[in-house]
Amino acid sequence: MRIQPRSLALLLALACTQAFAFTGPKPGDVVEVSLDQLHPTQAVIGFDQVYYQLERFARDRQKLFDEICESNGQAKARPVDVNADPLKPDSYTCKDEPNAHPEEMKTVVVGPEGQFYLTDGHHTFSTLWEQPGAGPQMKMKVRITDVFSDSPDLPAFWTRMVKAHKVWLKDGNGQSIAPDQLPAHVGLQAMHNDILRSIVYFVRGAAYEKPKAGGVSPEFLEFYWADWLRGRLNLADYNLSERSGYHRALQVASEMMVKPPLSKPVSGGMSAKQLGGFKSVKRKVLTKTADEKLPLVIEYKTTR
């Protein structure tokens, strides 16, 4: 049977469409992107967390490459030399093969026009954005969790994102914002600061931990805790410019966070247990944080 030219053209178009659909991004795929290709899904970060990491990397370059390798799902970096360059992956070696640990990778949702919307990794990538020798053009691997590129327009896309809990639409004071108020990119100049988000970061391991396998570990876990602390913890009562005052703020925050019964709803309709809350404060962990992390935060803020 001879196929008419018009029918042949239709078959070829259909085949091309199917091939494109087959080769398009899928949940679970890993893609490489430059930092300036990523659209934030939150307007705020904890600046003190970024300051801590930047000071840490300034003191020990090995830690910088460990962070890069871990975020790429490759465990830590092998010992680096003076020629190691964040912009030149061939200049350093990670311990594992690419994508060996996908659960450790930062995550994105694919939106309209194939744009990438970052849902986890705003602090790490903001740190790399600010890191001397790295910056907006640095390439990193990310894992796709959802593909919403078939949304007819941006309002429909954001509706899907909200329903899937893939966006945090609040400012640094806990007030609601619209999607068009989200920053264009990560980094300290674009993002806004939420000091309570830093407080929650520094009490991780002391008052809560990300739920283990089989539990619930929602996107923006730390923001749910920060939102709960807002209005309860008066940071004006503590001197966060020196270690002892900052340590005391962390102690009080931790005590507040372990107080609710684990089954009681805390934030976002989720219970303390779902948010990884502990029954009691692990004070040794908190003391270690105060001794090892807080001095780096204070040093960065006072000298850089």
Q: What is the pLDDT of residues 76-94, one digit of tens each?
A: 999 999 999 999 999 999 9
What does the block give as tokens for 297? 């935060």
CA angle 88, 89, 91 (to 5 degrees): 70
Domains belonging to the chain, first-starting first, are: 24-193 (3.90.1530.10), 194-304 (no CATH)
Q: What is the pLDDT of residues 272-300, one digit of tens each?
A: 988 999 999 999 999 999 999 999 999 99
Kindly provide the b/e burial profile for residues 100-114, where b requires at least 16 CB atoms within 10 angstroms of the residue's own CB: eeeeebbbbbbbeee
- In the predicted model, is pLDDT for residue 23 greater than 70? no
Sequence-distant (≥ 6) Cβ neighbours of residue 303 within 8 angstroms: none
- In the predicted model, is pLDDT for residue 7 greater than 60? no
- Asked if 197 and 228 count as a contact pair (C-beta separation under 8 A), the reply is no
Global pTM reads: 0.90
Amino acid letter for position 271: S
Judged by DSSP in three states, 80 sits in: coil
Percent of the residues in the chain that have a pLDDT greater than 90, as a whole number: 81
Q: What is the pLDDT of residues 38-60, one digit of tens each?
A: 999 999 999 999 999 999 999 99
Between CA 105 and CA 236 the distance in angstroms is 36
- Please report the pLDDT score of residue 49 as a whole number: 98
Amino acid letter for position 24: G
